[in-house]
Amino acid sequence: MAGPLPEGNEMPVDGSLPAGVNLGAENRTMSAYIHIPFCRVRCGYCDFNTYTATELRGSSQATYIDDLAREIELSGHVLERAGVPKRPLSSVFFGGGTPTLLPAHDLIRALELVQRQHGIVPGAEITTEANPDTITPEYVNALAQAGFTRISLGMQSAVPSVLATLDRTHNPASVATSVQAAHDAGLEVSIDLIYGTPGESVEQWRESLETAISLNTGHISAYALIVEEGTALERRIRRGELPEPDDDLEADMYELAEDLLSKAGFNWYEVSNWSKSEAQRSEHNLTYWQGNDWWGYGPGAHSHIGGTRFWNVKHPAAYAQRLAEGHSPAAGWETPDSQSRELESILLGSRIREGISTEGLAPEAVAGLIADGLIDGPQAIHSRLVLTVKGRLRADEVVRRLTFF
Ligand SMILES: C[S@@+](CC[C@H](N)C(=O)[O-])C[C@H]1O[C@@H](n2cnc3c(N)ncnc32)[C@H](O)[C@@H]1O
Ligand code: SF4
C-alpha cells in the first residue's frame, strides 16, 4: 500500500473483472482487508496511505463507513458478474492508518456489512490494528462481543527516546494496559516492534524485546525500519540530523530477536513473525503469502481475485466521490503473467517456515545457498527450501540468487 499506485490497466467504471477470475475459486479461500485511512498524527517513518484531520480535503471520518458500505455492496455485484462463487470469509483484517481512531460501533458496523455480504467462516480470525493510546476496556469489550478475535498493537519500542525518534505519541506504559484490556476481553494480541531506528542501541532493542515478551502475548512481529522515500525520517537522515541505518547492527538485532523470542517459547513462521503456537499465527497474513483471494476495501486498498490484482484510488475524498456516483473506486488492474507469478511465489513462499519446493529451481543456485549457510541442507535433501537464521537475514539475496542465477 505504500508509495504510488502501480500503472496497470484502467478499471471499467462498473469495476468488472477480466474473464477467468472465477476459475478454481472453490480451491481458494476468501478474505477481506478493510483499510481505515486516518491517523491523529503521521509518524515520520510511515508512508502508508493515511491522512490526518487537515489532509482530508472534504472527506470525513464520520461518513467513512457509509462509503465502505457502498464498496462492500459493489463487491458483491462484481464477484457475481464474474461468476466467482460466494465463499464465506476465512479472515477479516482492519488495517490502517489507525482503525481504532473510529468509534467501536463503526468497526462493528463494517464487520456486519462484510458478514452480510459474504458470510464469515465460524471461528474465523477477525483482527484490528490498534495504536496503544486509542483503546479502552469498553472499546475492546465491544469489539470482542461483536466477534473480533484479535488485536495487533503497534508498540514499536519500549524506550522513550526511540519512540520519540519514530514520532510515536503513545506513552510506553499504555501498551501494558492495552494488552491487559484486550486479554481480559478474550482477544488474542499481537505486538508490532520496529528495530534499527536511528540511534537505537542493541541494549535498547533488548529492552523492547524483553518488555514485549513480558506482556505474554501469543504473537510478535519485528520489522526492520525501512527508510521510505519522501518521509520526514528520510529527510532527517539526508540532512545528517539522524544516522543512516547500519546493516550489521540490524543483523545483530534480528539475531537477538530470534534468540530471545525462541527462548521465550515463540517460533518463527515468517521472516518477521513469531507465534507461540500454530493457532496463534496470523491466518490473514498467511492468506496473502499463499496467494488466496481477498478483497481490499477502502482508499488505496489492493485486492487479489483469481490471480488478478486491482487497487483503489488513494485519497478518501476521491474514493468517496466515485462510490457516491455509483462507480467502482478501483483505479487499475493487472493479471501478472506466469513468470511474474512464479517470481512472486518464490518471493513470498521462501519467507515462510514451510518454505517452497526446490523442484523447478536451478540446482546450482540451491547448492550455492546451502554452501553459504543460507538455506537448510537436510530440508533441501527432502526437496524443501527453508531459510536458516542467516538466510532470513538475507532473504532478498536468496530470492535474487534463485531467480537470476
Ligand atoms: C502502518 S501501521 C498501522 C497500525 C498502527 N497505526 C500502528 O502504527 O501501529 C502497521 C505497522 O507497520 C509497521 N511499519 C510502518 N511503517 C514502517 C516502516 N517504514 N518500517 C518498518 N515498519 C513499518 C509498524 O510496525 C506498524 O506497527
Ligand atoms: S500511527 Fe501507524 S499508520 Fe499512522 S502514521 Fe503512525 S505508523 Fe503510520
Each residue's pLDDT tens digit, 30-69: 999 999 999 999 999 999 999 999 999 888 999 999 999 9
Residues 188-240 pLDDT 10s: 999 999 999 999 999 999 999 999 999 999 999 999 999 999 999 999 999 99
Residue 225 lies in a domain: yes
Distance CA 179, CA 125 (A): 18
Residue in the block written with cell 493479471: 335
Contact 208 CB / ligand 2 (< 6 Å): no
Q: How many whole angstroms from 96 Cα to the centroid of ligand 1?
A: 9
Element (H, E) at 336: none
Reported as a pLDDT band with limits 50, 70 and 90, residue 2 is low
Query: Rounded to 5, what percent of the chain is helix, strand, coil?
Result: 40, 20, 40
Domain boundary among 252, 270, 289: 289
Are residues 262 and 351 both part of a single domain?
no
Residue nearest to atom 3 of ligand 1 (CA): 96
Are residues 279 and 384 both part of a single domain?
no
Distance CA 118, CA 31 (A): 9
- Predicted TM-score (pTM) of this structure: 0.96
Residue 274 lies in a domain: yes
Residue 305 lies in a domain: no
Q: Does residue 6 have a pLDDT over 90?
A: no
> Closest ligand 2 atom to the C-alpha of 131?
1
Q: How many whole angstroms from 154 Cα to the centroid of ligand 1?
A: 7
Are residues 269 and 359 both part of a single domain?
no
Tell me how crowded residue 193 is: count the other CB atoms within 10 A of its CB.
21
Q: How many whole angstroms from 42 Cα to the centroid of ligand 1?
A: 11
Pocket test for ligand 1, best of 40, 107, 129 (most atoms within 8 A of CB): 129
Are residues 221 and 348 both part of a single domain?
no
Q: Specify whether the CB–CB gap between 69 and 113 falls below 8 A.
A: yes
> SS3 of 264, please?
coil
Predicted local confidence at residue 1, as pLDDT: 46
In the chain the first and final C-alpha atoms are separated, in Å, by: 30
Are residues 278 and 384 both part of a single domain?
no
**In the predicted model, what is the mean pLDDT of residues 264-270?**
97
To the nearest 10 degrees (0 to 180), the angle between helices 173-184 and 137-145 is: 30
Residue 402 lies in a domain: yes
* Domain, as residue range, for 41: 9-289
State how many domains the chain has: 2
Q: Which residue has the higher pLDDT, 183 or 404?
A: 183
Residue 303 lies in a domain: no
Predicted local confidence at residue 404, as pLDDT: 74
User: What mean pLDDT, rounded, does the chain reach?
Assistant: 95
Beta strand 30-36 with 120-130 is: unpaired
Q: How many whole angstroms from 39 Cα to the centroid of ligand 2?
A: 6
Are residues 233 and 123 both part of a single domain?
yes
Beta strand 120-130 with 89-96 is: parallel
Predicted local confidence at residue 289, as pLDDT: 80
Distance CA 79, CA 86 (A): 8
Predicted local confidence at residue 403, as pLDDT: 87
Are residues 244 and 389 both part of a single domain?
no
Residues 124-163 pLDDT 10s: 999 999 999 999 999 999 999 999 999 999 999 999 999 9
> SS3 of 330, please?
strand
> Closest ligand 2 atom to the C-alpha of 41?
5
